[in-house]
Chain A
């Protein structure tokens, strides 16, 4: 603590915030990317196996919340996508991955790695299968893009 005032309040200052050379990202927050629509996904999953999982999958990957900094939106989107991913059958994974374009594969990889962060009982096994299929299409580049992306999902 400071000798003369016996105070440690200065320790709560974040000195890096005052550095004039600090790098600030130019980030804008458009309000349209609010994450996939939960209700629609719920409907589709409930009607499985009658309904097509592919459409649920594509809807889940639409509108990724990459531009917002609001963690609640990101959590919600992540939960929805993980629900869809875990309710896929193993044999359906490969055609689903094949139906995506380059940026879709990158986005899928981002969600897979986010899913890895919080493993639950049955999610890891299915996520690893998704990872294997996405890696076969996207290659090491897609994983590098997950690591270097500044706009995280």
Chain B
């Protein structure tokens, strides 16, 4: 587990290039910095300055090597590398509020931008006029779109929003692709069609609960696209399976809300959030249940120091317990909330390394194999 502290400011968003030697991140200002890995050191090689507002989303397309960024200035730029310099192309999103998240589609011929204008802009490149055009998905979104994830078939898009719902839309653009075949989520997919909408979180949980849910912070399709997981602000994580969408399995966790989630195998997901450490969840498809798999972090170092009487009273005064441990700060690697998780190696089906960035300006790369061996009762199915 390597922890690298990039800056003192929070890292708003990040994205890796194809061979994972370069990372583009936003240090909570209007720019995007690209760092290159030299052994164990990171050096800044590019600064992309074009946005007039904080950059809220970055995505680096691995095959075509283009970066799309979106920001609170209501714009998105597509950057292409010309020689040694990144050149931006403005994309008119036609939104009147900030853009919140952006994601290239799997085939990289279009990208989706979620915004505070309660809509998703699907942008594709029009050859004749040599510019990026966008189409809007408006209904039935009632509030800011916080997170997006594409289905592997390049047409379906999952969106988590502040109106407490997670939805799967069809983003089929007839100008750039052929009609998609049927999937478990549905067979008729005209543009903007809602194929799945979650009820408030906890729909299949306790009988009278239906607690109304919270903002949906993170969504993720599994590698096959048959499963969709989302985390919500009421500290729950839920998984729906396409085809069996009437039953949503959800788990009310005991942690603080989780902000981001990613599948690492078809049955396991890693999520992280305000608790500053990633947690593992295991989904059992046959029983339709989500269970807590374990906390993924450095093992606890217990110190066997004796404690003096004076310290005991001091602890009692300050913390109302005369406990032995004198933990000054958090025991986790990250010292502040984790805002984004990205899979580095292995894809979403057999992930072997993933990376987290957070509000403490640090980035940690986690190795799944060594986590499994370090934390004894961890099982990744």
- Cα separation A148 to B235 with both chains bound (whole Å): 9
Query: Which residue of A21, A103, A142, A144 is within 8 Å of B208 (Cβ)?
Result: A103
Q: Is A139 an interface residue (CB 8 A)?
A: yes
Chain A residues closer than 8 Å to B211, beta-carbon distance: 106, 145, 148-151
Q: Is A49 an interface residue (CB 8 A)?
A: no
Instruction: Please determine whether B206 and A144 come into contact, CB atoms closer than 8 angstroms.
Output: no
Instruction: Please determine whether B234 and A148 come into contact, CB atoms closer than 8 angstroms.
Output: yes
Instruction: Please determine whether B200 and A144 come into contact, CB atoms closer than 8 angstroms.
Output: no
Given contacts A64-B208, A66-B208, contact A140 B164 (CB under 8 A): no
Chain B residues closer than 8 Å to A140, beta-carbon distance: 235, 254-256
Contact with B along A104-128 (1 / 0, CB 8 A): 1011000000000000000000000
Chain A residue at smallest Cβ distance from B162: A23
- Cα separation A106 to B202 with both chains bound (whole Å): 12
Contact with B along A131-153 (1 / 0, CB 8 A): 00000001111101100111100
Instruction: Please determine whether B234 and A144 come into contact, CB atoms closer than 8 angstroms.
Output: yes
Chain B residue at smallest Cβ distance from A21: B118
Task: Please report the total number of A residues contacting B with Cβ < 8 Å.
Answer: 23
- Cα separation A23 to B212 with both chains bound (whole Å): 14
Chain A residue at smallest Cβ distance from B232: A148
Q: Is A63 an interface residue (CB 8 A)?
A: yes
Q: What's the dominant secondary structure at chain A's contact region?
A: helix
Q: Is A40 an interface residue (CB 8 A)?
A: no
Q: Is B151 an interface residue (CB 8 A)?
A: no
> Shortest CB–CB separation between residue A3 and chain B, in angstroms?
33
Instruction: Please determine whether B234 and A145 come into contact, CB atoms closer than 8 angstroms.
Output: yes
Instruction: Across the A-B interface, give the 4 residue pairs with the lowest CB-CB distance, nearest first.
Output: A103-B206, A139-B254, A150-B212, A141-B235
Known: A144-B214, A144-B235, A148-B234. 17 other contacts (CB 8 A): A21-B118, A33-B208, A63-B208, A66-B208, A102-B252, A103-B209, A107-B208, A107-B209, A139-B253, A139-B255, A140-B256, A141-B253, A141-B254, A145-B236, A148-B213, A149-B234, A150-B212
B residues touching A (Cβ–Cβ < 8 Å)? 118, 142-143, 163-164, 200, 202, 205-214, 233-236, 252-257
